[in-house]
């Protein structure tokens, strides 16, 4: 099939390369000419495991081409996937739809009758209907469908090639048939395929993100109670997760969720529900957001405490800048928010990240960045573990103890094994767990809980 993918960021670059990889002729389109030239030269715009390889393969096959022209897009194919950003509006909590609207308005004069515009961007319910009404006037005979994207950064290629489910919101059997043909290899692999109306498809996406965000904030709320009660959230989470009705995923307590999706999606969902007169139904989302943001503050407070009550004149080593591991994305990164707060309160802050240093430096140039962990930790009064990269799990705490000023670790992601750190003489603090120390561990049978 011939398709276009408009917007080649975290979602679009992966979608375009993967669709070419499964055999489609794909034109990737973006307003960012530099991004388009880089992609055409085989340079992925974002760090995603496996993307470089799949992009190289797609380009070599000749099935992936790149352009900055929506007119060329309309002339090339009759199925167009919209993958542009839908960030939070600067003046409210609602979604900013200007990029989606710009694509539709840019395509409209060029669209041939029979064209299908398929949204993948995450949008407020009712967007597809609004855009369809607009195109009915400017481009009769065209159709709008919504095909929400559920990929996770860090496993975007895998999630695209082997998704847990596919959802299409369509108003005609023809549109469904087109989308079934696009995803034919996935359907052959028995990926569940849900065909519904556009409003339900739009809503499914934000409901899924809201549910996942709720799980994370729930476990973080439990961590707060554990702190107050002297209980251990790690054990609590493991026990909850062992109940198949609850499940173990997305119950990792710590610094909370960030990134370009959960925070803005739950706010946009609440804003849209309010417009629809259903504000009460999703009131919980405000609390989910508040609990989430509180984890950042609690981490800063705990770090200050560990430094004896002030950041002034202290040196803090930060492990992790990306909002999650295996990504270079720092949009609304909890790690960077904590690093920034420590800096604003007087600390000298040195930041390490395996992939996100350039992006972090671009948004927050005041911090010091380095790609060498011992260098970042040199003479540190405190080490903050803020993004759970695998690399940090493999650190040698004894070697690191040699370079820091004080061997004190705040594992704000609750994902390092404290045992080797204790053995190397570190004091380890973890939110939601009783004060961890080798002594306490043996006293309380703490190892049992690891
Ligand atoms: P992004 O910011 O990484 O990429 C958006 C791209 O669109 C950029 O390259 C930008 O230059 C381009 N663009 C903007 N206006 C354009 C226009 N008028 N014409 C052509 N290109 C244009 O965004 P993203 O993270 O890929 O997210 C895209 C959408 O997918 C959002 O709605 C997001 O909520 C949703 N989503 C994202 C993820 C994720 O993990 N990032 C997962 C699922 C869904
Ligand atoms: C999330 C969803 O998982 C995707 O299904 C969805 O497509 C995407 O949002 C989107 O709509 O953009 P993503 O944000 O890439 O994907 O990453 P997640 O793995 O969901 O992590 C999000 C945040 O939650 C990260 O900051 C992560 O550190 C945090 N998290 C995750 C926790 O704090 N605890 C957990 O148990 C899981």
Contact assessment for residue 385 and residue 335, using Cβ atoms and an 8 Å cutoff: no
Note the ligand closest to the C-alpha atom of 388: 2
- Give the pLDDT confidence of 163-181 residue by residue, as tens digits: 999 999 999 999 999 999 9
pTM higher than 0.85, yes or no?
yes
Q: Which atom of ligand 2 is nearest to the CA of 265?
A: 11
Confidence at residue 55, expressed as pLDDT on a 0 to 100 scale: 98
In this structure, the residue with its CA closest to atom 30 of ligand 1 is 121
pLDDT digits (tens, 9 = 90+) for 138-160: 999 999 999 999 999 999 999 99
pLDDT per residue over 359-399, tens digit each? 999 999 999 999 999 999 999 999 999 999 999 999 999 99
pLDDT, mean of residues 229-234: 96
Ligand having the closest approach to the CA of 87:
1
Q: What percent of the chain has pLDDT over 70?
A: 97
Which two tokens mark 344?
A: 């604003």
Q: What is the mean pLDDT of the chain?
A: 96
CB 59 within 8 A of CB 33: no
- Identify the residues whose C-beta falls under 6 Å from ligand 2: 122, 149-153, 209, 212, 216, 250-252, 254, 256-259, 261-262, 323-324
Cα 148 to Cα 67, 123, 138, 317, distances in angstroms: 24, 9, 25, 39
Residues 237-251 have a mean pLDDT of 98
Which stretches does DSSP call E strand in 371-426? 382-385, 408-411
> Cα of 126 to ligand 1 centre, how many Å?
19
Q: How many CB atoms lie within 10 A of CB 4?
A: 28
Over the Cα atoms of the chain, what is R_g? Answer: 24
Instruction: Say what the pLDDT of residue 449 is.
Output: 28
Q: What's the burial of 430, exposed, middle or buried (CB within 10 Å: 0-12/13-18/19+)?
A: buried
Write out pLDDT tens, residues 206-228.
999 999 999 999 999 999 999 99
Predicted confidence (pLDDT) per residue in 96-123, tens digit: 999 999 999 999 999 999 999 999 999 9
156 CA: nearest ligand 1 atom: 40
Q: Which atom of ligand 2 is nearest to the CA of 258?
A: 26
pLDDT at 435: 73
> Residue 133: is its pLDDT beyond 50?
yes
pLDDT of residue 291: 98
* Token pair belonging to 433: 């767990």
CA–CA distance from 217 to each of 43, 220, 281, 290, 319 (Å)? 36, 5, 18, 9, 23
226 catalytic? Reply is: no
User: If you take atom 8 of ligand 2, which residue's CA is the nearest one?
Assistant: 152
Segment 85-91 mean pLDDT: 97
Pocket of ligand 1 (CB under 6 A): 6-12, 29-32, 35, 83-86, 99, 102-103, 121-122, 149, 151, 153, 260-261
What is the per-residue pLDDT for 443?
A: 37
- The residue from 18, 83, 226, 261 that is catalytic is 261
The whole-number average pLDDT for the span 192-209 is: 98
Give percent of the chain with pLDDT exceeding 90. Answer: 96
What number is the average pLDDT over the span 86-105? Answer: 98
Ligand having the closest approach to the CA of 36: 1
- Smallest Cα–Cα separation from 376: which of 412, 430, 339? 339
Which numbered ligand comes closest to the C-alpha of 98?
A: 1
Q: What is the pLDDT of residues 298-311, one digit of tens each?
A: 999 999 999 999 99
CA distance 430 to 68: 48
Q: What is the pLDDT of residue 437?
A: 55
Model pLDDT, residue 138: 96
How many angstroms separate the alpha carbon of residue 92 from the centre of ligand 2? Answer: 23
Amino acid 438: pLDDT: 53
Best mutation site among 5, 6, 9, 332 for ligand 1 pocket (most ligand atoms within 8 Å of CB): 9
pLDDT at 436: 60
Name the strands in the sheet holding 348-352, side by side, starting at the edge strand that comes first in the sequence.
Answer: 368-369, 348-352, 315-319, 382-385, 408-411, 427-429
Cα of 331 vs centre of ligand 2, distance in Å, is 12
pLDDT category at 62 given cuts 50, 70, 90 is: very high
Instruction: Tell me which residue has its CA closest to atom 2 in ligand 2.
Output: 152
Whole-number Å distance, alpha carbon 250 to ligand 2 midpoint, is 8
Residue 394: its pLDDT value, please? Answer: 97
Query: DSSP of 237-258, one letter per residue?
Result: HHHHHTSTTT-STT---SS---
pLDDT at 442: 39
What is the CA(30)–ligand 1 centre distance, in A?
Answer: 10
């Amino acid at each position: 099939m011939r398709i276009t993918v408009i917007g080649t960021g975290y979602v679009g670059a992966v979608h375009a390369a993967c669709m070419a990889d499964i055999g489609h002729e794909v034109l990737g389109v973006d307003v960012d000419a530099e991004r388009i030239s880089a992609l055409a030269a085989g340079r992925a715009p974002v760090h995603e495991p496996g993307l470089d390889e799949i992009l190289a393969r797609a380009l070599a096959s000749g099935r992936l081409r790149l352009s900055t022209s929506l007119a060329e897009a309309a002339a090339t194919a009759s199925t167009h996937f919209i993958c542009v950003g839908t960030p939070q509006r600067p003046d409210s909590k609602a979604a900013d739809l200007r990029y989606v609207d710009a694509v539709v308005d840019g395509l409209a004069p060029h669209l041939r009758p029979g064209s299908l515009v398929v949204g993948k961007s995450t949008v407020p319910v009712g967007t597809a209907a609004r855009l369809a009404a607009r195109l009915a006037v400017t481009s009769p005979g065209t159709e709008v469908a919504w095909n929400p994207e559920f990929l996770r950064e860090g496993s975007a290629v895998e999630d695209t090639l082997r998704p847990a489910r596919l959802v299409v919101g369509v108003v005609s059997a023809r549109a469904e048939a087109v989308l079934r043909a696009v995803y034919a290899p996935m359907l052959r692999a028995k990926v569940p395929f849900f065909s519904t109306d556009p409003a339900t498809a739009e809503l499914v996406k934000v409901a899924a993100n809201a549910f996942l965000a709720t799980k994370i904030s729930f476990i973080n709320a439990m961590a707060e109670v554990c702190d107050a009660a002297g209980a251990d959230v790690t054990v609590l989470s493991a026990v909850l997760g062992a109940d198949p009705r609850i499940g173990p995923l997305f119950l990792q307590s710590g610094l909370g969720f960030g990134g370009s999706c959960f925070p803005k999606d739950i706010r946009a969902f609440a804003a849209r529900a309010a417009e629809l007169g259903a504000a009460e139904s999703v009131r919980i989302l405000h609390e989910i957001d508040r609990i989430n943001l509180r984890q950042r503050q609690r981490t800063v407070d705990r770090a200050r405490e560990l430094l004896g009550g002030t950041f002034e004149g202290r040196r803090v080593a930060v492990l992790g800048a990306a909002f999650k591991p295996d990504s270079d994305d720092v949009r609304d990164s909890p790690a960077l928010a904590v690093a920034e707060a420590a800096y604003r309160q007087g600390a000298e802050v040195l930041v390490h990240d395996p992939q996100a240093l350039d992006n972090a430096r671009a948004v927050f140039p005041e911090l010091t960045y380095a790609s060498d962990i011992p260098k970042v930790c040199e003479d540190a009064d405190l080490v903050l573990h803020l993004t759970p990269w695998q690399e940090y799990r493999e650190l040698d705490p004894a070697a690191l103890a040699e370079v820091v000023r004080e061997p004190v670790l705040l594992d704000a992601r609750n994902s390092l094994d404290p045992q080797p750190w204790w053995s190397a003489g570190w004091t380890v603090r973890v939110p939601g767990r009783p004060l961890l120390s080798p002594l306490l561990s043996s006293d309380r049978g703490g190892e049992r809980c690891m």
